[in-house]
Chains A and B, each alone.
Chain A
Amino acid sequence: MDDAGFLRSALGRRDLLKYAGIAAILAACKKADTGTGSGGAGGDTGQGTTGATGPTATRPTIDEEPGGLQVFDWGGYGDGTYYPKEEKKFLWQAYQTATGDTPEFILFEDDDFGYAKVAAGAVEFDVVHPCAYRFRDWVALDVLQPWDTSLLSNFASLNPTLNAAGNFDGQQYFVVADWGFAAPMYRADKVEPLQDSWDVLWDERYEGKISWWDSVNMLVVAGYYHGVPDPWAMTDDELVQMRDFMASKKHLVRFMWSQSFDLWRAFKQEEVWIGYAWPDVVGYAKTGGFDVVYMEPKEGRTSWYCGFGLAKDSANYHHAHAYVDSWTSTKAAEFLLNYYYYGHTNTGLDLSIISPEIVEAFSLSDPTVLEEPRSHYERPIERRDVYSQYWSEVKAA
């Protein structure tokens, strides 16, 4: 990495961290818009991603809108589940100041659950916050309308590649805001992995002290472990192999988590020592005084990103834009990094205000950390129903 060498030699530590972090994000996201192979963005990269994309002239003004913005989101992203004061302060206080409105939060447990509820017409919302692997499904469901990016003051500061990932048919259906890794986490004082590999998640020596994520992504991880050419698009034979492998290792697993906080609770209660983890659990564990390692497996970590969608029939069009503008600010980015160890797409963040421990955990000073093959962006799985079937069989085995 010549660029990184140049950065290290020519800049001070603060600047280095700032630019290296941005470079890391940009470098990784470069993969996201290449379409096939290593990347993973689902968006239409051939389209422009800035500028107005939707007519606003005929809409009611923000003062004429009813307010009471309904946000359909993950817990801990503003509703106060984990950090009641900070979530408000960093994520949507700017929105409240600008509009006088207090958003209402409706929570979903995971992407599939949220998508199913909306598809069934069981929930009404103004703004929804799914992750990238379902972006295309949400657009196909015809419940969203594109954002008017000219109303988002922070849009130009967001990572352009991830902006493109939220662009479908030339329309900005999603404003990508947050991203993070997925990798094995383990207690350093209890576990000695044989190697830095995903195989720590099925290490026979730690039977009953392991937790998996309850998701088809576990099949993908098994695919990377077994060297499958494209774990996001496995053949039936490959899926059968992964299913049989995971089913044979299931007895080692204490429980499978659906919400990452459950994993942290189990770590805290010492019920498990090893888990498939998102960075927030690493944050909770380190804050809680646990000696944990967030592994960088030789097969590569996986990573994900999520973005905001705007309901097609929202009566709070301008409120929704104001909310997302608040969420895409550097202040929100600071919160995500400091409290959840999640990345943010706002490239204007000064990384020197972020804890050095987090910078180290993210390896933000290393521009290659998000590049293939060190990290694999989560991609839409075309045959997700087949993956789900096999994953169900693992669970029921």
Chain B
Amino acid sequence: MATLEATATAKSWRRRDRRATAGLISGPLLWLVVFFLLPVGFVAAYSVGGIRIFPTDGGLSLDDWRRFLAGDSIYLGLFWKSVRMSLTVSVAVVVLSYPIGYFLALCAKRRKYVLLLLIIVPFLTSYLLRVLAWKVILGDRGVVNSLLFWLNLRAPDDPLPWLLYSQFTVTLVLAYVWVPFVALPVFVSLDNLDRSLLEAASDLGASRWRTFWRVTFPLSLPGVVAGFVFVFVPTIGEFVTPLLVGGTGGYMYGNAIQDLFTKGLDWQSGSVLAFFLLGVVAALMLIFGRYVRVQSVAG
């Protein structure tokens, strides 16, 4: 009898658990469906001509997909150009961010959170303002060129032309924008590091350099990889920064998508490009999830 009662109680708890789980998950699930899956569905429908927006739109067709995947359009090439630029930005950001994260986690001691805040403070201002500020710095009459004129390294009529409106500018500004987003996961990885491992390495006679490469760096790799992906994924589809400081040379895949939607009024091609990008990003996230433990960089 007691066993039956215990079983019934356990079943009741399980039912309650299931209801609680369903209740907790329904909110995020609804959010995901309304603000992600449905829009993605719309984009997919646009990409095959399933939804008409303009009176001149055609019907169902896979031609845009075929042209894109066969490489008949210029956009696949533009995608690889954007991938190259994003890779450059991501590597640069990781290289710049690692020393920051290292210093904050292992050297700054009690001041680390104050310093962390100081790094984040500029990012409380408008993204546009920060990007436009680079125009003031890099322009033909900007801070850098003015300094070069003053040092007689360049003639006033001959400023460095590639400082602004170039791939270099886009890379530089994106790197600046994303540094804190990589410094943070690196910092979290290193901050969670078991210090006794460093002591053990030291006790066993390892130099600081050897300790770093054999202990610290491998253990911080999840943070590094997470930071890399945090930068790489959004910058492939970046369009605001290239629009503002990229000029004709800094045009990226994201700009092509924007142009197709807003200037070319070719939502079908734009959706093909957007959906393809989404697929690439999803694949990257799957790989990321497979090889990196999220908890290790989430604190």
Contacts and interface: CB of A to CB of B under 8 A. Distances in A.
A255 B140 contact: no
Interface stretch (B112-120, B174-182, B192-200, B258-266): B258-266
A240 interface: no
A277 to B, nearest CB: 17
A98 B248 CA distance: 48
Nearest first, the 10 A-B pairs at minimum CB distance are A388-B264, A255-B247, A208-B161, A140-B55, A396-B74, A396-B78, A113-B262, A112-B263, A255-B165, A253-B248
Summarize A's interface: helix, strand, loop or mixed: helix
Interface of A: 109-110, 112-113, 115-116, 119-120, 137, 140-141, 208, 214-215, 250-251, 253-256, 269-271, 384-385, 388-389, 391-393, 395-397
Contacts of B56: 137, 385
Contact of A112 (B140, B246, B255, B262): B262
B260 A119 contact: no
Given A271-B164, A393-B74, A388 B140 contact: no
A289 to B, nearest CB: 15
A256 B266 contact: no
Summarize B's interface: helix, strand, loop or mixed: loop
Interface string B44-55: 000000000111
Contacts of B263: 110, 112-113, 214-215, 388
Nearest to A271: B140
A396 B140 contact: no
Contacts of B78: 396
Given A120-B53, A397-B74, A389 B248 contact: no
B141 A270 contact: yes
Given A270-B141, A388-B263, A254 B251 contact: no
Interface of B: 53-56, 74-75, 77-78, 139-141, 161, 164-165, 246-248, 251, 255-256, 259-266
Contacts of B77: 396
A269 B261 CA distance: 31
A384 B251 CA distance: 22
A395 B259 contact: yes
A395 B140 contact: no
A258 to B, nearest CB: 8
A389 B262 contact: no
Nearest to B250: A255
A215 B256 CA distance: 13
Contacts of B54: 119, 137, 141
30 contacts: A109-B262, A119-B53, A119-B54, A119-B265, A137-B54, A137-B55, A140-B55, A208-B161, A215-B263, A250-B248, A253-B247, A253-B248, A255-B246, A269-B140, A269-B141, A270-B140, A271-B164, A271-B165, A384-B265, A385-B56, A388-B263, A389-B264, A392-B256, A395-B248, A395-B255, A395-B256, A396-B74, A396-B251, A396-B256, A397-B74
Contacts of B261: 116
Nearest to B249: A251
A255 B259 CA distance: 15
Nearest to A115: B265
Contacts of B165: 254-255, 271
